[in-house]
Amino acid sequence: MAQIEIKNLFKIFGTNPTAGLDLVRAGKTKEEIHEQTGLTVGVQDASFTVNSGEIFVVMGLSGSGKSTLVRMLNRLIDPTSGAVIVDGDNVMEMNKEQLVAFRRNKTSMVFQSFALMPHQTVLNNVAFGLELAGVDKTQRYERSMDALKQVGLDGWEKSYPKELSGGMQQRVGLARGLAVDPDIMLMDEAFSALDPLIRTEMQDELLKLQDRHERTIVFISHDLDEALRIGDRIAVMEGGRVVQVGTPEEILQNPADDYVRAFFRGVDPTGVIAAGDIARDSQPTVIWHTPQGSPRATLEMLNNRDMEFAYVLDSERRYYGIVSTDSLRSAIEQGATKIDDAFIKEAKTAKVDDSMQDFLPEVASHAWPIPVVDENNIYQGVVSKNLFLRTLHRAEENAHFAE
Amino acid sequence: MFSFEEKVIPLDTWITNFIDWLVEGYRWFFQILKWPVEVTLTGIQQGITALPPLLVIAVLGIVAWRVSGIKLGVFTVVTLIFIGLLGLWEDTMITLAMVLCSVVFCTLAGIPLGILAGRSDRFEMALRPMLDAMQTTPAFVYLVPIVMLFSIGNVAGVLATIVFALPPIIRLTSLGIRQVHPELVEAALAFGATNWQVLAKVQIPLALPTIMAGLNQTIMMALSMVVIASLIGAGGLGAPVVLGLNTLDIGLATIGGLSIVLIAIVLDRITQSMGTTKKQN
């Protein structure tokens, strides 16, 4: 379900932004407009939807307009034109009071620079949003302590921000965002100021929090690894435009243009592409407990089709095992009548969301294509050696093309 | 015309005429303006001179001790006793009352103006030349119109002092507000702060050390006006200085001047430590 809907959002900085708007619409580039009028195009014609409960990463280099974009979602920056629709309400049309109520109840924000109040204790910082909203003291502190506990900072409530390390300060920032219990969290390069180890730790923390309580998170980042790690979907921005929106796999496998391709250059595709993304239903399957599912019939079918392996499923396509012409033959020789006697013992499955890295050993060490199943053990298809290599090759090719 | 031998623009006559016109037609208006200052000053002065000197010394000593430390407390007590022994106790109390009164009005006007200037570039731009003029115009220039509009005495002295002492607190309040990190303001807005909440919960608390520095400067400026205010009949520690000057009594002028300096040091140290203790919290 779409929670945030952004329609044709523009932001032009300068004294007469509407003039710039006409020029943008007339197809002039950002540079031409700046030269002609001195106006700076921050964001141009951004449209996408963010689904409720997902982590939506907006990625781009500095100056790509991503920070402007996220600030237009809660109107810290007023868009020049366009609509931001959150749960059916157009944020652009809100008056001052409605906007204040919207910011207090619907959204919260986590900042790159932490933006903690230096004159307040950790507890008061976490309680800040609730204090603004006029929540009474006991309830405010109760909820803030709970938020501090969620980020693992209980015991630090009486400290001042400057007494904490950067990572801990951002945990306070995160707790401040959680304390108001928002539907939507806007995170502006929230972990970019932290060193890499702490950054990964915070990403895990965020995913853990998301596991416990799903919120809609719009996460701004310039860090590709971060985007791939936490993003359910990613929007890539360049020069104020949203050039591509999709899941990490979609973008990686099918970059919209050279910019996106260049962005993803150097990413190891095996860590990102999952089994479910490339699995093909290319192999013969047999249904157990049917005449066709007997060892002899299966062997016959494989011989006829000149194939070596068959995948045994039940009528609901639940996966049971793999048989090969060899295993069938030897089972028949031993007088077996049931197909499970012919199952290849060492055959393992890959889960849909296993990355290529995860099942590479399986693919490499066995002759048969690796079956892919979902969480209910439903058969999704197979990944053969051939397919695995072709996927790798295509990702490589994309990367080289950009150089 | 451009040999510059004759006056072409009679600005001086215009100004004289303008002031005459003001005095004739609108003196009543300036008398109304004078009223709150008069009431405040008389109140403070009567209160402070009615108290037994030792009580005043004790109170100031304790304040100095609490905000700074035992050293400043002792220094304050010793200094005040010394001034009392010089025979200038009453003059000192009048000066303190005048300084206090000017500072009250400077604070009441200066902090709101400074906040406005800190939040609006346009207002700051408009205000700045006025503040420059207030600080650099020689006091002698506005003493005459002040006397004409408000007559002579302590109240006129306080008004002249306010003109001179107001700019620093405005400037430093504005600076303090501007120095608050924009990200903190943004964070407050993002969590749904109204304009007032941004001011009360973020900008003013964070600007407070700078505002206190402005208050300190305003007090110092007010003290530096003590002698000039005496020229228009204001009492206090300026009076012995002016009297000494007129009668070539070097000794009298010196003890008056010395007392002003000592009072200035005491007030400066006390207000400065008030600013820094706030910062540490």
Q: What is the DSSP letter of A120?
A: S
pLDDT of residue A396: 62
B280 touches chain A (CB under 8 A): no
Residue A6's pLDDT band, with cuts at 50, 70 and 90, is very high
**Are residue A245 and residue A289 in the same domain, yes or no?**
no
Query: What is the chain A residue with the closest CA to B202?
Result: A117
Contact A70, A56 (CB under 8 A): no
A108 chain-B contacts, CB cut-off 8 A: 190-191
What distance lies between CA B31 and its chain's CA centroid? 21
Q: Which chain A residues are within 8 Å of B190, Cβ to Cβ?
A: 74, 76, 103, 107-109, 186
Residue A268 pLDDT more than 70? no
Same domain (yes/no): A247, A312:
no
Structure tokens at A293: 């599912």
Residue B153 maps to a domain: yes
Query: Which among B191, B198, B208, B279 is the top mutation candidate for probing chain A, defined by the most A β-carbons within 10 Å of its own β-carbon?
Result: B191
Q: Write out the two tokens for A61.
A: 């280099």
Rounded to a whole number of angstroms, the distance from the CA of B198 to the nearest CA of chain A is: 9
Residue B34: partners with Cβ closer than 8 Å, 6 or more residues away? B150, B155, B159
Q: Does the residue A295 lie in any domain?
A: yes
Count of the separate structural domains present in chain B: 1
ipTM score of the complex?
Answer: 0.78
CATH number at residue B179: 1.10.3720.10
pLDDT digits (tens, 9 = 90+) for B211-245: 999 999 999 999 999 889 998 888 899 999 999 99
Are residues A333 and A242 located together in one domain of the fold?
no
Nearest 5°: CA angle at A69, between A65 and A72?
Answer: 140
Residues A283 and A188 in one domain: no
Output the CA torsion A241→A242→A244→A248 (10° steps).
130
Quote the minimal CA–CA distance from A380 to chain B in Å.
Answer: 45
Is-contact A259 A302, C-beta < 8 A? no
The boundaries of the domain holding residue B270 are: 26-50+88-280
Confidence of residue A20 (pLDDT cuts 50, 70, 90): confident
**Nearest by CB to B191, which of A113, A119, A128?**
A128
Same domain, A146 and A177: yes
The tens place of each residue's pLDDT in chain B, 281 residues long, gives 678 888 888 999 999 999 889 888 888 888 888 899 999 999 999 999 899 999 999 999 999 999 988 999 999 999 999 999 999 999 999 999 999 999 999 999 999 999 999 999 999 999 999 999 998 988 888 888 888 888 888 889 999 999 999 999 999 999 999 999 999 999 999 999 999 999 999 999 999 999 999 999 999 999 999 889 998 888 899 999 999 999 999 999 999 999 999 999 999 999 888 877 544 44
Using alpha carbons only, what angle is made at residue A279 by residues A276 and A281, rounded to the nearest 5 degrees? 130
Judge whether A290 and A333 are in contact, CB under 8 Å: no
The count of domains in chain A is 2
| A309 closest CA partner among A391, A385, A392, A389 | A385
- Residue labelled with tokens 């701004």: A220
Cβ-based contacts of A132 with chain B (< 8 Å): 188, 191-193, 197, 201
Domain that holds residue A200: 50-80+90-272
Residue range A334-388, pLDDT digits in tens: 888 888 888 888 888 888 888 888 888 888 888 899 999 988 888 988 888 888 8
**Given this model, what pLDDT does residue A401 score?**
46
Residue B224 tokens read as: 């530096």
**Of residues A141 and A290, more confidently modeled:** A141
d(CA B11, CA A326): 116
Q: Is residue A28 part of a domain?
A: no
Give yes or no: residues A133 and A240 share one domain. Answer: yes
A309 and A166 belong to one structural domain? no
Residues 6+ apart with CB under 8 A from B148: B19, B23
Give the pLDDT of residue A58: 94
3-state percent breakdown (helix, strand, coil) of chain A, nearest 5: 45, 25, 35
The Cα A174–Cα A389 span in angstroms is 42
Are residues A235 and A283 both part of a single domain? no
Residue B76 lies in a domain: no
Per-residue confidence (pLDDT) for residue A392, from 0 to 100: 76
Residue A85: inside a domain: no
| DSSP symbol at A378 | B
Q: Is residue A336 part of a domain?
A: yes
